[in-house]
Homo-oligomer: A and B are copies of this chain.
Amino acid sequence: MQRIPLARRAAALPPSRAPHPRDSISFESGHAFPGVLPDLTRESERALTHANETLQYGPRPGLPGLRDWISGHMTSEGARVTADQVLITNGAKHALELVCRALLDEGDAVVVTAPTYFSAIPIIRSFGARFLEVGQDAAGIDTVAVGALLRERRQAGAPLPKFIYDVPDFHNPTGVTTTLERRQALLQVASDFGVILVEDSPYRSVRFEGAPLPPLKALDPDNLVLHLGTFAKLLAPGLRVGWVAGDPDLIARMTALKTDAGSCPLTQRIVLEFCQAGRLGEHTRRVQEAYGLHRDRMIAAIRRELPDVQFQVPSGGYYVWLTLPEDMDGAELERQAAREGVAIIAGSRFFAVSGPEQGARHVRVAYSHADVDEIDEGVRRMAAAYRMVSAADSVGVGR
């Protein structure tokens, strides 16, 4: 935080969102569907029988058993990391914060996609970094643009960005999954320039169809990938158990900066008990099925109620990214939708730099939290808001 004027730091706060009426339907948050939250009573009871582990300070890098489990899990996906290369954090956002603390000095550059995960923006910005945006298409991050950008900076004698931040699986907000070819190209560019890749992968297991692609960390001979993982999107957001895995020296540096007396051993143990009891596989199928149904219901409703809106059908994750007709403003639609009783998020918030231009024609809609009937009703409300914004636009007001 050094040398960042206080006013700038406060600006790192995402704008506070107006409260919604009590019956507002939530398409805005990454909250879980209450129907898939697991019953953790048994795990919690078992965890508390180890009170001298779970109620004492935990080891700074995390519970050894959980680091082992994560190492095994990642290795089974082709990403060979040892338990020593795993640092447990208070969720994946905390992992990103530690990455920033370890790597960023004020004025450093960070590459992000346009659009990118909107909660990553204030975290990275609060460390005084500047953003370099690159585009994304249906195959993922534009690696040609990344290569050109890095080459240009090298030729100009400018410092290279400290890292490239991306969400390769079911990208937030676009839902795009980076293809294998694009993943390989991204690793090649990172390797050519020796730039660190931060792979944020909270939705990886929330997959509705198709086979998983290897994580970036599995394609990483030079150990340039820092993989951020979490149990939030699969198990429960409230547990606040995530991790970062990667190069041992970087993990050691982040561990040194993790001065919070260790992450909560109780919630770590609850997660470990859940995984060791073999419940994760069945639970994952249940989550995939529930969110798959939600996705289908929302896609059908949008096609029915909002035929002029364009989108790609995501094959996993929590979100649909809508492209509105020219001249329709996403921020205006967000405001009108809130009045109609459905919360969505204007696209501009997902762009670190170019929000007003690139984001204007988009909104992000989450199908995770609402139930299927709320999804139908919420899309009806969105459509009502859409018609009002259209009508206002056509008579030249409302802007």
In the complex, chain B residues whose CB is within 8 Å of the CB of A128? 2
With A9-B102, A119-B259, A123-B259 as contacts: A236 and B97 at CB distance below 8 Å: no
Q: Is the CB of A1 within 8 A of B127?
A: yes
With A3-B3, A90-B90, A253-B6 as contacts: A56 and B44 at CB distance below 8 Å: no
With A119-B259, A240-B261, A253-B10 as contacts: A127 and B48 at CB distance below 8 Å: no
Taken together as a complex, chains A and B put the C-alpha atoms of A255 and B48 apart, in Å, by: 31
Partner of A126 from the list B40, B119, B259 (CB cut-off 8 Å) is B259
Q: Which of A31-39, A187-195, A219-227, A345-353 contacts B (4 or more CB under 8 A)?
A: A31-39
In the complex, chain B residues whose CB is within 8 Å of the CB of A6? 102, 253
- Cβ contacts A245-279/B at 8 Å (1 or 0 each): 00000001101110111111111000000000000
Q: Is the CB of B264 within 8 A of A13?
A: no
**Is A105 part of the contact surface with B, judged by Cβ < 8 Å?**
yes
Taken together as a complex, chains A and B put the C-alpha atoms of A3 and B2 apart, in Å, by: 7
Taken together as a complex, chains A and B put the C-alpha atoms of A100 and B40 apart, in Å, by: 36
Taken together as a complex, chains A and B put the C-alpha atoms of A55 and B235 apart, in Å, by: 9
Q: Is the CB of B12 within 8 A of A40?
A: no
Taken together as a complex, chains A and B put the C-alpha atoms of A205 and B13 apart, in Å, by: 35
Number of copies of this protein chain within its complex: 2
Nearest CB of chain B from residue A304's CB, rounded to whole Å: 29
Closest to A30 in B: B57
In the complex, chain B residues whose CB is within 8 Å of the CB of A253? 6, 9-10
Q: Is the CB of B34 within 8 A of A238?
A: no
**Is A388 part of the contact surface with B, judged by Cβ < 8 Å?**
no
Nearest CB of chain B from residue A231's CB, rounded to whole Å: 11
Closest to A252 in B: B10
Taken together as a complex, chains A and B put the C-alpha atoms of A29 and B58 apart, in Å, by: 12
In the complex, chain B residues whose CB is within 8 Å of the CB of A37? 51-52, 55-56
Q: Is the CB of A260 within 8 A of B13?
A: no
Chain A interface residue bracket vs B = 35 or more
Q: Is the CB of B48 within 8 A of A44?
A: yes
In the complex, chain B residues whose CB is within 8 Å of the CB of A380? none
**Is A54 part of the contact surface with B, judged by Cβ < 8 Å?**
yes
Taken together as a complex, chains A and B put the C-alpha atoms of A9 and B104 apart, in Å, by: 11
Q: Is the CB of B259 within 8 A of A238?
A: no
Closest to A45 in B: B41
For chain A residues 260-307, which have a beta carbon within 8 Å of chain B?
260-267
With A4-B2, A101-B1, A126-B257 as contacts: A238 and B57 at CB distance below 8 Å: yes
Closest to A49 in B: B41
Closest to A31 in B: B56
In the complex, chain B residues whose CB is within 8 Å of the CB of A94? 260
Nearest CB of chain B from residue A255's CB, rounded to whole Å: 8
Nearest CB of chain B from residue A5's CB, rounded to whole Å: 9
* 7 nearest A-B residue pairs (beta carbon): A13-B256, A2-B106, A2-B2, A55-B236, A55-B238, A240-B264, A57-B237
Residue pairs across A and B with Cβ atoms less than 8 A apart, 26 shown, are A2-B104, A2-B105, A2-B107, A6-B253, A9-B101, A9-B256, A9-B257, A31-B57, A34-B51, A34-B56, A44-B44, A44-B48, A54-B238, A55-B236, A56-B236, A58-B238, A90-B90, A90-B240, A93-B259, A93-B260, A97-B260, A119-B261, A122-B259, A239-B266, A240-B263, A240-B264
